[in-house]
Amino acid sequence: MRNLDSALLALLILASVSLAAIAQEDINATEIIERMENLMRSDSAYTEMTMDIVTPDWRRSLEMRSWDDRAGKRSLIHILNPARDRDTTFLRIDYQLWMYLPRAERVIKIPPSMMLQSWMGSDFTNDDLVRESSLINDYTHELVGIEEIEGLPSYVLNLYPKEGAPVTWGRIEAAISVDPFVPVRQRYYNRRGELDKEMIMSDIRDVGGRQIPVTWTMRTTDKQGHATVMHIERIDFNVDIPERIFSQQYLRNPR
């Protein structure tokens, strides 16, 4: 009887703390998202990273660097390795995407028909590169509660697309670890409510002055045994990016 009483009491305390926490944070589901975005993004950034593509039968590894001008909706991705793909470069301006094919010495603009194809063989699509949606502005946010995700107690939020938002997902479930405050998992559900993709963020490091996860693993539900793993080597947040980067000339000659 006494043990039961203690247990009940402990439960009550935990619940009220959680409730208090939630109550304190409930109206701040949006704040959580905002805070996360502010952590992970900046108006401009220079990134160096590797991307491992894993399948049951084989795997590949890419090294690349990119400049991202979020405010100006421009970005450039330059593949450094391996040799086969070296100097393949992508330039995005607004909703348009160009690709430089070094062996052919040609630039092609990626037509709508190609947009949903895999980007460089990864679990990402070309479309993902030009996607403009903002987790903050294009979604409504709902805090579900706190759960243990990937070993860390995390805020679990449901993000629902707003009316008219340029978004393909039916719902995103975002899990952000409470302490340290970093995203740990995002699950992407299609409009039928089925889980389509899942991204796990791990390996929290100090990069560019921030504590962020540097390993991002993307898995697609349909493709068992496949995964795309990104390792961030370096990020410079809020850098000045020279104008010449986002140009056709640089696209053709990215060095």
Partner 1 sequence: MRIFMAIAWRNVMRNKKRSFITAFAIAVGLTALIFMWSLFDGVYPMMIENMTSVFMGHIEISDPRYVEKPILDNAIVDGGPILEALAANPDVESYSPRLTTFGLVSFGENSQGAAIIGIDPELDRNLGLIDDFVQEGGTFFEGDDRYGIVIGATLAKNVDAGLGDEVLLVTSNRFNNLAYLGPLPIVGIVKSTVPEFDASTVFVDRLTLAREIFVDTSVVYTNPDAEVTDIAGVLTSVAVRVKDQHKLEQVRDDLQQLMPPNARVRTWSEIAPWFKQALDIDVVFGYIVLAIVLIIVVAGILNTVLMSVMERTREFGIMRALGTKGWQIFTTVSLESVFLGLLGLVIGSVCGIGLTLIFGQIGLDLYGSFDESMMGQFYILDSVLYPTLALDHFIITCVLIMVAVVLVSIYPARKASKMEPVAAIKALG
Q: Which of 57, 163, 179, 206 binds partner 1 (CB under 8 A)?
A: 57
Residue 40 in contact with residue 212, Cβ under 8 Å?
Answer: yes
94, amino acid identity: D
68 close to 47: Cβ distance less than 8 angstroms: yes
210 binds partner 1 (CB under 8 A): no
Binding of partner 1 by 85 (CB under 8 A): yes
Closest contact distance (angstroms) between CB of 53 and partner 1 is: 8
For residue 181, give both structure tokens: 């405050």
Which one, 56 or 164, has the nearer CB to partner 1? 56
- CB 226 → partner 1: shortest distance, Å? 9
Number of residues engaging partner 1 in binding (CB under 8 A): 27
Site for partner 1 in 88-117 (CB under 8 A): 88, 99, 101, 103-104, 106, 108-109, 111, 113-114, 117
Question: Based on CB atoms, which residue is closest to partner 1, 38 or 61?
Answer: 61
Q: Which is nearer to partner 1, 193 or 225 (CB)?
A: 225
Pick between residue 126 and residue 154 the one whose CB is nearest to partner 1: 126
- Can you tell me which of 30, 118, 158, 168 binds partner 1, judged by CB under 8 A? 118
Closest listed residue to residue 186, CA positions, set 205, 167, 169, 164: 169
Does 218 engage in binding with partner 1 (CB under 8 A)? no
CA 149 to chain centroid, in Å, comes to 17
CA distance 117 to 225: 19
Question: 21 or 80: whose CB is closer to partner 1?
Answer: 80
Binding status of residue 58 toward partner 1 by CB under 8 A: yes
* Part in contact with partner 1 (CB under 8 A); list of ranges 84-92, 143-151, 180-188, 245-253: 84-92
Smallest separation (angstroms) from partner 1 to the CB of 100: 11
Query: Which residues have CB under 8 Å from 46's CB, separation 6+?
Result: 65, 66, 67, 68, 234, 235, 236, 239, 241
Residue 168 DSSP code: -
Beta carbon nearer to partner 1, 42 or 88: 88
Peptide bond into 180 cis (omega under 30): yes
Contacts of 72-80 with CB under 8 Å at 24 or more apart are 72/246, 73/132, 74/246, 75/129, 75/246, 76/245, 76/246, 76/250, 76/251, 76/254, 77/129, 78/254, 79/120
Footprint of partner 1 on this chain (CB under 8 A)?
Answer: 55-62, 82-85, 88, 99, 101, 103-104, 106, 108-109, 111, 113-114, 117-118, 120-121
